[in-house]
Amino acid sequence: MFVRDAGTMRQMMQTSVKGLVLLLLILPCYRIFAQEIQLRSRVELVVVPVTVKGKNGKAATGLTQADFTITEAGKKQHITSFSVEPVPLSAVLLIDTGVTETALTRVKNSLPTLMAGFAEDDEMAIYTFDKRVEKLMDFSSDREQIGRIFEKVANANPSVSSMSVGPFSMPGPVINGVPIIPGVESATRTIALPTKVLHDAIFQAAEDLSSRELDRRRILFVASDGRNQNSLHSYDAALDRLLMHGVQTFVFGVDTSVFQRLRSSLVNYASATGGEVCFSESQSSLESCYLLSTDEARNQYVLGYQSTNKRPGTKAVFREIKVQVKQSGVDVRHRKGYYQTP
């Protein structure tokens, strides 16, 4: 059996104590260093697709990184990446089946033209909505599958709320589409409130688009008259989801009056997310809107920067973005901001 003398044991204990003290001194420094590495690894690139159009409405081409200035929450940001290369699209198509039968027929018949604007590596999910939201197809690049869904939509009968009501289809007085019996107090009858869940449909589309890869452009196409009644989600909640997930909204307004267009929330959705609005009165104009929108969605100037604003502590904070171009007389469109996370 090997036995050390008392001096040797004392020296070993002193060495151990010194090692422990050194470890206690180094550990806090290591923690600070590790936290710094973690913070640095969480620096995210803020990506801002930008559309620039001249007075003639055509895309302004030939701009360079030096032509753009971008600010976030009032602070000028350094553009670290710049691209004009087309990128694949991840798109959701929302079809409002609560419009008039004439308008819905125009939308149905023009769907093949929308598909013609898609490239082979683009993907699409298709939804319909009126009183509820229905997903007809999850994200797919299979053109045959998309074509079958388009045929299903084209052959589907319009909902009762979208049917034209003739003078003999519902005899007698009605309130909100509900017939009443003359001489009976209407207060004794329960009248259903009108329902169209536009905001719910947009909220769900934004949530589903959040799962798509970051190297794809997230796009929402909405064919609707812009009416909304009794959605579970508000306009603000749906818009927050669009901005949070970097979704651009392109609107195809159908079955709308000039007054409705001025007040439409669809216009606000498109403006806030850097998209486009196109109101149409015919199938040919609707088809033109489809082709212009898909081309614009794919071909944009893409700016990237790392935010110099301090990350929020516990809750996500909305950061307003402003993009300016040196060239005068142009229309600059981009999302109005994003949510910076803790």
Assess contact for 203 and 209: CB atoms under 8 A: no
The average pLDDT across 46-59 equals 91
Distance CA 46, CA 311 (A): 13
Residues facing 93 on adjacent strands? 126, 221
pLDDT higher than 90, residue 237: yes
Average pLDDT over residues 43-48: 84
pTM to 2 decimal places: 0.76
Confidence grade of residue 9 (pLDDT, cut at 50, 70, 90) = low
Instruction: Report the pLDDT value the prediction gives residue 46, as an integer from 0 to 100.
Output: 94
The full set of domain ranges for the chain reads 44-84+302-340, 89-157+190-297
**Radius of gyration of the CA atoms of the chain, in A:** 29
| Distance of alpha carbon 90 from alpha carbon 219, whole angstroms | 6
Query: Residue 154's pLDDT is what?
Result: 84
Give the position of tokens 């701009």: 63
Rounded to whole angstroms, the Cα distance separating 322 from 337 reads: 8
What is the separation, in whole angstroms, between the first and last Cα of the chain? 60
- Residues 180, 137 contacting (CB under 8 angstroms): no
Give all strands (DSSP E) within the chain, no chain letters: 45-53, 68-72, 75-77, 79-83, 89-96, 123-129, 133-140, 174-175, 178-179, 217-224, 247-253, 276-279, 301-306, 317-325, 331-333, 337-340
From CA 286, how far away is CA 67, in angstroms rounded? 33
- State residue 274's pLDDT score: 95
Q: Is the pLDDT of residue 192 over 90?
A: no
Average pLDDT over residues 176-183: 44
- The CATH homologous superfamily for domain 89-157+190-297 is von Willebrand factor, type A domain (3.40.50.410)
Average pLDDT of the residues in 235-264: 88
Question: Highest mean pLDDT range out of 12-21, 34-43, 324-333?
Answer: 324-333
Contacts of 273 (CB under 8 A, 6+ apart): 220, 239, 242, 243, 247, 248, 249, 335, 336
CA–CA separation, 253 and 225 (whole Å): 6
Please tell me the distance from the alpha carbon of residue 304 to that of residue 252, in angstroms, as a whole number: 29
pLDDT at 259 over 90: no
Q: What is the mean pLDDT of the chain?
A: 82
Label residue 162 by pLDDT band (50, 70, 90): very low
Q: How many residues does the chain have?
A: 342
Q: How far out from the chain centre does Cα 127 lie?
A: 15
